[in-house]
Amino acid sequence: MNELLVSYIKSKISVTEEELNTILSYFKSIQLKKNELLLAEGQVSQRSFFVTKGCLRIFFINEEGQEATRYFAFENQFASALMSFITGEKSKEFIQAVEPTEIFYISHKDFYHLLEIIPQWEKFYRIYLEIAYITNTRRLMSFLVQDALEKYRQLLAENPVIVRRLSNKMVASYLNISQETLSRLKSRL
């Protein structure tokens, strides 16, 4: 089992070796090619993903038919179309590998089974939801109160790996600005 996943779980909750082995037994690994889709709009999100190598992108298609990126998950991060995962409703989002990517995933059924059999998994889930809430609220606030330059500066300060590893097209999609605007911002800074 991947040490990244083990250390991530141990950093969030205290579990016995037996509990940890039970948790890990529900995770499966897969390797993805660049641009491979894990979830398409209209499907119900049945898995939660943990990235051990590479990058996953969660995005949707806006009314103008353009991709709008909500989230990037790099190494040592979880990702899922959480709204669909929780509600069982069809997802409005896509999940895609943007680099050759290695992940562990757990099914919705197994994730919720762990909530029943391992008390600490409830705490893990609460922490998972708190991280998602904070991330999404910060993103929403940046869209409501920041101009393009402020959003780009914040991205460089908080998550420079996005700018370093991903294409201008994806960075612009994440910031909700045009590629031309992004190029101008890069040349100014």
Confirm whether 64 is domain-assigned.
yes
Confirm whether 186 is domain-assigned.
no
SS3 per-residue string spanning 38-91: EECCCCECCEEEEEEECCEEEEEECCCCCEEEEEEECCCEEECCHHHHHHCCEC
Confirm whether 180 is domain-assigned.
no
Confirm whether 84 is domain-assigned.
yes
**Residue 1: per-residue pLDDT:** 58
- Burial class of residue 123 in the structure, from the number of CB atoms within 10 Å of its CB (0-12 exposed, 13-18 middle, 19+ buried): middle
Confirm whether 63 is domain-assigned.
yes
Q: What is the CATH number of the domain that holds 74?
A: 2.60.120.10
pTM of the model as a whole:
0.92
Confirm whether 105 is domain-assigned.
yes
CA 68 to CA 186: how far, in whole Å?
Answer: 20
Average pLDDT over residues 111-124: 97
Q: State which residues form the domain around 55.
A: 3-115
Q: Each residue of 146-176: pLDDT tens digit? A: 999 999 999 999 899 999 999 999 999 999 9
Confirm whether 137 is domain-assigned.
no
Alpha-carbon torsion (143, 90, 78, 9), positive or negative: positive
**Residue 180: per-residue pLDDT:** 92
Q: Quick check: 14 pLDDT over 70?
A: yes
Number of domains present in the structure of the chain: 1
Token pair 């390797």: residue:
31
Q: Quick check: 181 pLDDT over 80?
A: yes
